Structure 1
Amino acid sequence: MQSGLSLSFGHAFVAPDQRRHRSSMSVQVPDNARQLEIKGACAIIADSTWRNAIARQAGDISVRGFLADYYSTPDHWDIKTSATRVLRALNGWCYSQSRYVQGGSYISSLSAIIFRGRESYLFHMGDTLVFRLRGAEFEQLSRDHVTDLGGYRYPSRALGMDNNIDIDHMSLPLKTGDVFLFTSQAVRGTLTPTDYVHAIRQQDNDLDAACERLAGMARERAGARGYGAEAFCFQLVRVDTLPDEDMGPPVQFPGQLPIPAELEAGDRIDGFLIESIISRTARAHVYGVRDETSLRRMAMKVPSPAMSSRNPYLEHFLLQQWIGERVRSPFVVRIVAPPRPRRHLYYLMRPIEGQPLDHWLAQHPDAGLEQRLDIARQLARAVHALHRRDILHQAIRPENIMIDEHEQVVLIDFGACARRLDDDNNAALALARDGRLGMHSAPEYALGLGVSRRSDQYSLASTIYWLLTGAMPYDIAPDTLESEQALSGMTYRRAREINAQIPTSIDDALARALSPRRALRFRRLSEMIQTLRHGAALDDDDDDEASSSGEKTLDASSRQKALRLWQGIAAALLLILVAVMLIQ
């Protein structure tokens, strides 16, 4: 009978005062069998320094942040890639946030073991301790990264300590019965290896009780030696069963699936009938399909057969699916989970009954300003939904914006998307290299400069400018720039010069978002969205005031009278107070 991976675990804290916790621990075993097979189970401990005003928060954020982000990484990433990228992103966040904290920081040591199949993977930073008990052999797996200063030992190479982080990584084969102990540096010197082995073996059937026994022993030893035990914590994880060695790969990863041959209307694939060909490019094909079981209609995106040997593209294709599964917005195309196991590489999307923005605008040349602004607001919310997931769209242009019969906006095409936190933004560089830049692309793409969410902000603003005016904001096309010196030659053409109905506040917002220099654009996209939402109303109020100067003068006179009245009352009260004080 085949068996899979199963674990038992227990925890114990020595905590006279819950508020003085500086450690955090957790074990996460996914309920979903597929996720357990792909990502494995994870045991983790984080421990902050005792001279830290937010030690408990630092430990909790490290543990929760790692678990949440690790299990959200794409399925086609291996364990080392997933864990190290998550840890580097988490380290960058902790390091940047520490500057805003008085008397503390988000620095913590961290050790995590991921159990998958018959292997385990250890990731370690700082001075937390990880031991393995195998039979009678008790050994430390983690290395102590500490610095001695003034008689105190401080962790080094810890999470959040520096903008760059060096992560210890090792893989270890598992055996049934292996026991892993996670604890903090504060325990060092209180218990011996023999104490650990005896305590664990005596409570072998109850790991919580074993942890409590270790905590009690450590507390007694610490008390006998005259120091506190508020920072002691113990976590035990035991491997109960392992997958059989002859089971082979438990699940087929999406990247291992074959690319189907070019399909035609009437063909069938994995229980889907190809009803139409929506688009065909050198990189991907999109088909309109119908599930022959449920009769549900969907769109299917398939890599072009010519791309079968280009591994970077196939990896990015899998990233597109991952992005679509995690971005939940009515203004972004939704990925549909396949109803059956796939035998080919593709992903499914909800069908969109509509037309691209440029086609819609050609059919509605008389669309009013408010109608166009409503489309702009919906588009901005679509981009904002991507940015909240740290994803850059990188191809915001009219042909990738669908408008349905109810004038609902849906942003499509994840083909150029990239994760903002990736170590190297290969997708961004590929846009220029493959000649996929457009007239709405930000200047930094053509110049090979760094890209960010402000690059999407430029493309969004350029598209909105075109939507409101039918023209482009600059005489120079950004995708034709050859040097940074050319940026100084880009002069913004005021939108109100083309369409006088555009409110000044919105024109000003577009001018800022379309700045050729990325650093001068809005710091957050939400600021631009706020202007789009309220800018027109504010300008309308200004126009109303300008058309009724008599009322405006009257209101100003009334305000002056009220001001003088309250100033008089305040002066009288002050005199009364002074008089009372003199009498006393």
Structure 2
Amino acid sequence: MGKLHLEFGGYSTAGVKQENQDAFAAWLPTDSELTTKGSVATIADGVSSCSRAKEAAITCATNFIQDYRQTPQTWTVKRAATQVLQGLNRWCAGQHDYSMGEQSQMVTTFSALIFKSTTGFLFHAGDSRICRLQQGDFEQLSTDHHARFGNKKVLSRAIGIENNLDVDFRTFELRTNDLFVLTTDGIHEFISPKQIQSVLNQWLLKPNTSLEVLAKSIVELAIQAGSDDNLSCLLVKVAGLPQADLNEYHRQLTRLAMPPVLQEGMKLEGYRVLEQVFNGTRSSLYKVIKEDTQELYCLKTPSQYFVDDPIYLSGFLREEWIGQKLNHMNIMKIIPRPENAKFMYHVCEFIDGQTLRQWMLDNPTPTIVEVRSIIKQLIAALRIFQRQDMVHRDIKPENVMITSTGEVKLIDFGTVYVGAIAETEAWQEESVAVGSVNYVAPEFLLNNRFDFRSDLFSVAVVCFEMLAGHLPFNEFTPQSSSGLTVDNWQYISLRKFRPELPQWLDITLQKGLMTSPEQRYQAFSEFLMDLTKPNYNMLAQIQHRPLIQRHPLRFFKIIALIEFIIILLLLIYFI
């Protein structure tokens, strides 16, 4: 099957109680959101001792889905769902009615499943329960968060109890015909897992019975067993799975043709070529005009050399997808191709300017103010990537454009890591680090591990090179990169090349270029702040370091001299 196919069915009743304080909800999109966000199932059980228990359950079960849908498509499921749950928890925890006591009056258990591609994501707090029937095995996936004091059961975790919510999270691979069972404790406190499994096995023998009927039969079994609580059961069946490596962009690999090499005056689907801006081994870039509007754009085409390379083509198409998701003045915009396009290419905004590499050649000894202005804009762009769960992974002077008015534009998204895509393995990921070896962070090049701090490292390299006209360590070659260790990133002082620059600036760059991500700046804003004005605390620490740390060579020379004097005195004494 080409996409995820799920079936839902549920049943809820107040049971012997007057009010039903349970709630469940499900969302199954029929459009592209099924790929980008997935499908959601939730269940909640309001705590009956609270005056607004029913409201808490309904709010969390339904608003979770609504708010999750509004999170950026580039966020991972974990980040999006966790952020929504923390917001719901803060709201519920703040709903006090002091006439009823000092505690929140909106407390509820909460369990959710998100199905995306071939992966399931579980979020859970409380003692509602998620189980799975898979190939005959019935397994509880969630953990009951409660403690017993004598015969009394008390929730140890739930939405609304405290301002901070601790949520269980796990992922698992989906299989066709998996059946997920979400229940409140009015069911599983009165019938055993074996009894539930027995009902499920009987249902398997009756394939025409709906999931709603099955859910109702589980509820009725618990009522017969003496349940004195609200009862809710939500069932989700995985009826079909997509192929793990297929989505809309991968399908384009076989649908779109590679465009030919373009010459001045040639036309491609409404765009006329004015000139070739760049022609490299991996892509070509053309200045074009859209004939119906007379607007200028850049058109980027893939290289014919990679026509059979799915990883390269995936990266090329991913660049288009990313460029359309990001909207910031310092990030190159990519506009959609025509819906009936037959060829693979990007249409990018036309940037009237030069690469940062050319700017550096034209400005070999720039001022701190000039460099800071460029770095500030570059960091503004990368903070957008960070907020979208993206890592650029190829920051270098060639991928930064400077317009005639001094505006910075970050370009080239072919190597960008997108958390939302990677979590379902929809993209073919590289087995080795991508990017230019002299700008790639050590942890990426050596261990293929990265996060925003890897981009920060690359920014620090670019900043150093702008000021010094030299890399902050001995230059690597692609051939030598296979034998590198952290010792190859020995920092060379900025003041070796520009002695007139202040020490605090040298210290700032050195921290940004630490080989360990944990020792670097932990935020772009911290790096930019220290790049803007001296960090006197850090400067004092450097100036008051022991001599062996400040000047190791001088220290060992002094030690050697002392040893020589001692030996000389001993020789004189014994002679």
Q: If the length of structure 1 is used for normalisation, what is the TM-score?
A: 0.61
Note if 1:419 corresponds to 2:418.
yes
CA distance in 1, matches of 2:438, 2:114: 46
**Matched-pair contact (CA < 8 Å) for 2:186–2:229:** no
Q: Which residue of 2 aligns with 1:274?
A: 273
Note if 1:25 corresponds to 2:25.
yes
From 140, 162, 171, the counterpart of 1:165: 171
Q: Which residue of 1 aligns with 2:384?
A: 385
**Matched-pair contact (CA < 8 Å) for 1:58–1:107:** no
CA distance in 2, matches of 1:517, 1:461: 14
CA distance in 2, matches of 1:333, 1:306: 25
Read off the aligned partner of 1:404 and give its amino acid letter. T
**Matched-pair contact (CA < 8 Å) for 2:319–2:414:** yes
CA distance in 1, matches of 2:301, 2:519: 39
Q: Which residue of 1 aligns with 2:299?
A: 300
Q: Which residue of 2 aligns with 1:569?
A: none
Q: Kindly, what percent of the aligned residue pairs are identical?
A: 18
CA distance in 1, matches of 2:258, 2:285: 13
Instruction: Give the secondary-structure state (helix, strand or coil) at the position aligned to 2:276.
Output: strand
**Matched-pair contact (CA < 8 Å) for 1:333–1:349:** yes
Q: Which residue of 1 aligns with 2:229?
A: 228
1:287-337 Cα offsets, whole Å, 9 max, x none, are 222211122221122222232221222222221112112222211111112
Note if 1:472 corresponds to 2:485.
no
- How is 1:392-403 mapped onto 2 (pairs within 5 angstroms)? 392-403=391-402
CA distance in 2, matches of 1:147, 1:381: 41
Read off the aligned partner of 1:330 and give its amino acid letter. M
Q: CA deviation at 1:413?
A: 1.0
Pick closer, same or farther for the CA change 1:223–1:384 going to 2, 3 Å: same
CA distance in 2, matches of 1:514, 1:251: 36
Pick closer, same or farther for the CA change 1:8–1:295 going to 2, 3 Å: farther
From 28, 42, 46, the counterpart of 1:45: 42
Instruction: Give the secondary-structure state (helix, strand or coil) at the position aligned to 1:321.
Output: helix
- How is 1:175-574 mapped onto 2 (pairs within 5 angstroms)? 184-186=183-185, 188=187, 225=226, 227-229=228-230, 232=232, 253-255=251-253, 256-365=255-364, 367-420=366-419, 422=422, 429-431=431-433, 437-475=436-474, 477=476, 480=480, 483=483, 486-488=485-487, 490-500=489-499, 502-532=501-531, 534-535=532-533
CA distance in 2, matches of 1:478, 1:94: 46
CA distance in 2, matches of 1:60, 1:483: 54
Q: Which residue of 2 aligns with 1:565?
A: none
From 29, 32, 36, the counterpart of 1:35: 32
Q: CA deviation at 1:526?
A: 2.8
CA distance in 1, matches of 2:304, 2:60: 48
Q: How many pairs were matched up?
A: 454
Q: Which residue of 2 aligns with 1:110?
A: 112
Read off the aligned partner of 1:412 and give its amino acid letter. I
How large is the RMSD of aligned CA atoms in angstroms?
5.7
Pick closer, same or farther for the CA change 1:404–1:235 going to 2, 3 Å: same
**Matched-pair contact (CA < 8 Å) for 2:187–2:232:** no
**Matched-pair contact (CA < 8 Å) for 1:522–1:528:** yes
Q: CA deviation at 1:36?
A: 6.7
**Matched-pair contact (CA < 8 Å) for 1:280–1:286:** yes
Pick closer, same or farther for the CA change 1:490–1:362 going to 2, 3 Å: closer
Instruction: Give the secondary-structure state (helix, strand or coil) at the position aligned to 2:384.
Output: helix
CA distance in 2, matches of 1:142, 1:92: 29
Pick closer, same or farther for the CA change 1:227–1:8 going to 2, 3 Å: closer
CA distance in 1, matches of 2:29, 2:506: 53
1:225-260 Cα offsets, whole Å, 9 max, x none, are 46332x7476999xxxxxxxxxxx999953322222
CA distance in 1, matches of 2:171, 2:522: 27
Pick closer, same or farther for the CA change 1:185–1:298 going to 2, 3 Å: same
**Matched-pair contact (CA < 8 Å) for 1:443–1:481:** no
CA distance in 1, matches of 2:23, 2:502: 54
CA distance in 1, matches of 2:364, 2:143: 73
Read off the aligned partner of 2:464 and give its amino acid letter. Y
**Matched-pair contact (CA < 8 Å) for 1:440–1:478:** no
Q: CA deviation at 1:271?
A: 1.5
Pick closer, same or farther for the CA change 1:447–1:426 going to 2, 3 Å: farther
Instruction: Give the secondary-structure state (helix, strand or coil) at the position aligned to 2:293.
Output: coil
Q: CA deviation at 1:381?
A: 1.6
**Matched-pair contact (CA < 8 Å) for 2:299–2:346:** yes
Read off the aligned partner of 1:410 and give its amino acid letter. K
Q: CA deviation at 1:223?
A: 12
CA distance in 2, matches of 1:324, 1:265: 26
Instruction: Give the secondary-structure state (helix, strand or coil) at the position aligned to 1:166.
Output: strand
Instruction: Give the secondary-structure state (helix, strand or coil) at the position aligned to 2:533.
Output: helix
Read off the aligned partner of 1:275 and give its amino acid letter. L
Pick closer, same or farther for the CA change 1:450–1:478 going to 2, 3 Å: farther
Q: CA deviation at 1:107?
A: 9.9
1:335-363 Cα offsets, whole Å, 9 max, x none, are 11235532222221111110011212333
Read off the aligned partner of 2:73 and give its amino acid letter. S
Instruction: Give the secondary-structure state (helix, strand or coil) at the position aligned to 2:32.
Output: helix
Q: If the length of structure 2 is used for normalisation, what is the TM-score?
A: 0.61
Instruction: Give the secondary-structure state (helix, strand or coil) at the position aligned to 1:447.
Output: helix
CA distance in 1, matches of 2:445, 2:35: 38
Read off the aligned partner of 2:386 and give its amino acid letter. H
Instruction: Give the secondary-structure state (helix, strand or coil) at the position aligned to 1:264.
Output: coil
Q: Which residue of 1 aligns with 2:140?
A: 145
Q: CA deviation at 1:402?
A: 0.5
Instruction: Give the secondary-structure state (helix, strand or coil) at the position aligned to 1:188.
Output: helix
**Matched-pair contact (CA < 8 Å) for 1:183–1:233:** yes
Q: CA deviation at 1:403?
A: 0.4
CA distance in 2, matches of 1:273, 1:148: 61
Read off the aligned partner of 1:169 and give its amino acid letter. R
Pick closer, same or farther for the CA change 1:441–1:269 going to 2, 3 Å: same
Of 497-506 and 271-280, more deviation after overlay is shown by 497-506
CA distance in 2, matches of 1:497, 1:95: 52
CA distance in 2, matches of 1:393, 1:250: 22
Unpaired segments of 5 or more residues in structure 2?
A: 88-92, 94-107, 156-165, 204-209, 238-246, 540-575
Unpaired segments of 5 or more residues in structure 1?
A: 74-84, 115-119, 132-139, 155-159, 173-179, 198-203, 205-209, 238-248, 543-584
Q: CA deviation at 1:519?
A: 3.1
Of 261-270 and 336-345, more deviation after overlay is shown by 336-345
Pick closer, same or farther for the CA change 1:321–1:492 going to 2, 3 Å: same
Read off the aligned partner of 1:274 and give its amino acid letter. V
Q: CA deviation at 1:523?
A: 2.3
**Matched-pair contact (CA < 8 Å) for 1:258–1:344:** yes
Pick closer, same or farther for the CA change 1:233–1:130 going to 2, 3 Å: same
Pick closer, same or farther for the CA change 1:293–1:13 going to 2, 3 Å: farther
**Matched-pair contact (CA < 8 Å) for 1:379–1:409:** yes
Instruction: Give the secondary-structure state (helix, strand or coil) at the position aligned to 1:331.
Output: coil
Of 55-64 and 355-364, more deviation after overlay is shown by 55-64
Read off the aligned partner of 2:354 and give its amino acid letter. Q
